[in-house]
Structure 1
């Protein structure tokens, strides 16, 4: 299986290039970004050495579906999706926070709770909860958006006190976040899934409006449980069946890696890589209700270049 580990294009009108953890972003003039979703995978803010076939396609196509399904709530940055791994969108100035929202006590929030902390990002949590319990109400636990290294938890109060986001804009971001989470929850429920937690990123375009940017409701940005087994597994205090990257994080933790200084990423066997790819495809099919169609895996770079250049011609 062929995977997209990195790209090196020079598109017409290209002025900048940015390589993120997963995405390669090409700036075209003053108006557009070409975002290529690679098959790189990260955990604990570290890019792992092996790329995962079809992961980028899964992320790009799930995000496209959810962005389309939520554009009545908030406008989004998408202009065209010319290739299974590519989204072209309008340039926005990102807010320097990610809006994380949690409906259940899982992942990072659970690890904080298990360590004895009863407040996450300034939001108080009740006593007596166990892992994966449903919270009394969804909570917003923002993080700073780090250019490199780890994102850090931050409270609403600190965001406003430090002037990272204006109060007017932040209140709007909170409203959008809650409405998007409810929409994602409803769509997931229709597919027999529980949207446990997720994150959203927003930016402002030249017109001064707030836009939803990047991906939403993908396995990289979200966690899902299977609804049919949730109650029984909680009652028996057993791990939840879930569709997310948490299984990968747990595998890394069990093999002595949490992204801390001096730790080395454990060997990722071909069997592990294949299983991760299958997990991503499984989530795609569950959350969309559609069969996943694998894109052509030969001459990937030529395919992407042709599709992007044709799209840019149409947009010019």
Structure 2
């Protein structure tokens, strides 16, 4: 099997801190962040035991493409991508909410709806809507950004009442979220896809709001294939998805949903390879480009050298 990168332990000149996220290793400098997209994979807020070859590269390169394609809508944090697994950019102070936007009754919204709930994050959901039907207009359903454990649904009203984000800033975040989602939908449609739902994260740098983190990747978004969508809806069939949902489904089928006392099922070489193949398929479908596998021999050395060279030159 190809090598994968599960975690990194670099030490760079000028580095002031380090943060290990669910799937990213973040090297913190005074003004910059160096983010290594590892091959770790998480589902149900749990990091699974085995890394997936090329997953980090897939997500990093999809995000780079979409950040560049939306820079006219909102400025983003990126200044360089010196390696297929690395993004370097401005060190922003993140807002403590994730802006989730849903154009369709799917995923978490559909699960809540099946429980009889008719609102999510304080936003009403219409009666008589079926799973995977479009909402009359896309709805914004924010979550709190948890440093550990599960992100929690929160309403716009609570965000403002608790002072998590000022009203002035929140209005801007909503505006950016809707504009980014519209652009994402247009770009997906060109590839025969439907961007069902997605999330955006924002931060501030020198008083200005920036789009941070990855966008429109299969880890942060759900896509359907447009071909067959209407027919499947009419027949009440599941939609063909292009997202990380297939990983969640495999876990559910094997008795794991991240609940207490549950064990992550064994990830065989075959399972790991099949997930890797699916991520590459996602890349090619979402971007319309052929995936070029980065050299995985001495992958850590390759990444470390790319970062060191960037820091030396800048």
Partner of 1:213: 212
Partner of 1:200: 200
Q: Counterpart of 1:127 in 2: which secondary structure? A: coil
1:158-237 to structure 2, matched below 5 A, reads 158-205=158-205, 207-237=206-236
Partner of 2:264: 265
Partner of 1:43: 43
Q: Counterpart of 2:275 in 1: which secondary structure? A: helix
Partner of 1:21: 22
User: Partners of 1:229 and 1:146 in 2: how far apart?
Assistant: 37
User: Partners of 1:285 and 1:19 in 2: how far apart?
Assistant: 28
Partner of 1:279: 278
Partner of 1:306: 305
Deviation at 1:128, TM superposition (A): 1.2
Deviation at 1:171, TM superposition (A): 0.4
| C-alpha RMSD over aligned residues | 0.7
Question: Which sits farther off after the overlay, 163-172 or 232-241?
Answer: 232-241
Q: 1:168-209 CA deviation, whole Å, 9 max, x = no partner?
A: 00000000000000000000000000000000000001x200
Partner of 1:146: 146
User: Partners of 1:130 and 1:140 in 2: how far apart?
Assistant: 19
Partner of 1:254: 253
User: Partners of 1:293 and 1:174 in 2: how far apart?
Assistant: 36
User: Partners of 2:209 and 2:64 in 1: how far apart?
Assistant: 18
User: Partners of 1:283 and 1:232 in 2: how far apart?
Assistant: 23
User: Partners of 1:32 and 1:232 in 2: how far apart?
Assistant: 48
Deviation at 1:313, TM superposition (A): 1.5
Partner of 1:87: 87
Q: TM-score, normalised by structure 1?
A: 0.98
Q: Does 1:11 align with 2:25?
A: no
Q: Counterpart of 1:18 in 2: which secondary structure? A: strand
1:288-299 to structure 2, matched below 5 A, reads 288-299=287-298
User: Partners of 2:208 and 2:194 in 1: how far apart?
Assistant: 31
Q: Counterpart of 1:158 in 2: which secondary structure? A: helix
User: Partners of 2:156 and 2:182 in 1: how far apart?
Assistant: 20
User: Partners of 1:184 and 1:304 in 2: how far apart?
Assistant: 29
Q: Does 1:2 align with 2:8?
A: no
Moved over 4 A (4+): none
Q: Counterpart of 1:176 in 2: which secondary structure? A: helix
Deviation at 1:71, TM superposition (A): 0.4
User: Partners of 2:219 and 2:313 in 1: how far apart?
Assistant: 31
1:101-180 to structure 2, matched below 5 A, reads 101-180=101-180
Deviation at 1:15, TM superposition (A): 1.0
Q: Which runs of 5+ in 2 are unaligned?
A: none
User: Partners of 1:160 and 1:286 in 2: how far apart?
Assistant: 39
Q: Counterpart of 2:228 in 1: which secondary structure? A: helix
Q: 1:44-82 CA deviation, whole Å, 9 max, x = no partner?
A: 100011111100000000000000000000000001100
Matched pairs, number: 313
Q: 1:195-239 CA deviation, whole Å, 9 max, x = no partner?
A: 00000000001x200000000000000000000111111111111
Q: Counterpart of 2:158 in 1: which secondary structure? A: helix
User: Partners of 2:134 and 2:210 in 1: how far apart?
Assistant: 30
